[in-house]
Amino acid sequence: MMANKKTCPADKEAFAKALSDFVKELGSYVASEDGQWTVKGFIDIFKNIYTISSDTKIISKVLEIHLFPRILQFARNNGYSIVLAECQNWYPDFSFVKNDDQTVKFAVDLKTTYRDPNFPGHVNGFTLGSHGAYFGERTSTKNIQFPYAQYSGHFCLGIIYTRAEAKDIDETEIIRVRELADEENKTGAKYKVTAVDNLRSIASVVKDFKFFACEKWKLASDKQGSGNTANIGSITYIDDILAGNGVFSKLGEEWFDEYWMNYGVTTMIKKRKAVPIKSISDFLEFKKGDKSKIVEIKTKKRTGKERPDANFSSTNQKSGDQDKARSLDSGSRPRSKRPLD
């Protein structure tokens, strides 16, 4: 087994508890009393409001911007500075560096996903970072802010939400709010303009947020989460996500590390052929580990009652939330080597 990361059990335990306590406060920050997202859209100088797209990348990016001041305050309150990912596709989103001992660092990735309307109790899913270069080579600086081995822990700050039904949202609509309306309406004739009395009258594209904080290895499945790219897939059953009851939760972090470092690379003989190992069951058989400690995944099962039109068009785990709008322009959030404190 490998164990090459810096370990600070007391710091890690304190950080994990602080982060778990912190996320309990976030629901009331982003949502109104009825669970609707308080962000209603984008506004221009003429006070026209444009509905936010249902695109998961956009929702994720706006949520990140919405939460960033609170995340920064959390770091300050707990004696940390934040170093943001230098490039938009680097891991992690936030590096927490302890002010009085800068060898203590924690990686925190913001993960968003929506409840799957076709599979009650499940979310669409998300990825947990790469199992490629920097994960396998723990001193590498490729696509990572600090070498993986320098982090004392790797956490997800997660957001589960429900998407509004398509009938409730019109993305072609421009909204004029009477309580704001004191400017001439300067929109082209091709737009549909709807007037509402107040901001609360505008339907939110997402609602019913549930926040969680957990070490990423406790949320992992043993399957890739994004097709041909080297990303670790998450479990999808909501109760297990909130409990940190992933495939490796009884095996431990070292088995998670070793399995994903060797995923698809290590081979075993089956029917007199060498085949790549892509399941934890095969890996434990190969390594003579304890297979009784594997936590079985609650999989999505079709019932024949699925409603494909229940929500905005559903995407699979290859798209949307797992990459958190990293394809969007990163200018909405400062990117700097300098710690933010």
Q: What is the CATH number of the domain that holds 322?
A: 3.40.600.10
What local confidence, expressed as pLDDT, does residue 174 receive?
77
The residues, ordered by sequence, that sit 6+ positions from 29 with a Cβ below 8 Å of its Cβ are 67, 70
Distance of CA 212 to the CA centre of its chain: 10
pTM: 0.84
Decide if 262 is inside a domain: no
To the nearest 10 degrees (0 to 180), the angle between helices 280-287 and 253-261 is 100
What local confidence, expressed as pLDDT, does residue 316 receive?
41
Q: How many C-beta atoms surround the C-beta of residue 10 within 10 A? A: 7
Decide if 127 is inside a domain: yes
55 burial via Cβ count (<10 Å: 0-12, 13-18, 19+): middle
Decide if 259 is inside a domain: no
d(CA 67, CA 159): 11
Please list the ranges in the chain whose pLDDT falls under 70: 1-7, 170, 172, 181-197, 227-228, 303-338, 341
What local confidence, expressed as pLDDT, does residue 335 receive?
52
Decide if 19 is inside a domain: yes
d(CA 223, CA 119): 19
Decide if 271 is inside a domain: no
Number of domains in the chain: 1
What local confidence, expressed as pLDDT, does residue 81 receive?
98
Q: Range of 245's domain?
A: 9-249+295-331
What local confidence, expressed as pLDDT, does residue 47 receive?
81
d(CA 167, CA 153): 43
What local confidence, expressed as pLDDT, does residue 78 receive?
97
Decide if 276 is inside a domain: no
What local confidence, expressed as pLDDT, does residue 276 receive?
93
Q: Are 253 and 217 within 8 A, CB to CB?
A: yes
d(CA 31, CA 51): 17
Decide if 79 is inside a domain: yes
What local confidence, expressed as pLDDT, does residue 226 receive?
72
The residues, ordered by sequence, that sit 6+ positions from 253 with a Cβ below 8 Å of its Cβ are 215, 217
Backbone angles phi, psi at 18, to 5 degrees: -60, -40
Identify the sign of the CA torsion 235, 238, 244, 247. Answer: negative
Helices (H), 31-77: 56-77
User: Strands across the sheet with 127-130, in order?
Assistant: 127-130, 231-234, 220-224
Decide if 341 is inside a domain: no
What local confidence, expressed as pLDDT, does residue 334 receive?
46
Longest dimension (CA), the chain: 78
Identify any residues that bridge with 89 across adjacent strands, giving them in sequence order.
Answer: none
Helices (H), 227-310: 238-243, 253-261, 280-287
Backbone angles phi, psi at 95, to 5 degrees: -105, 115
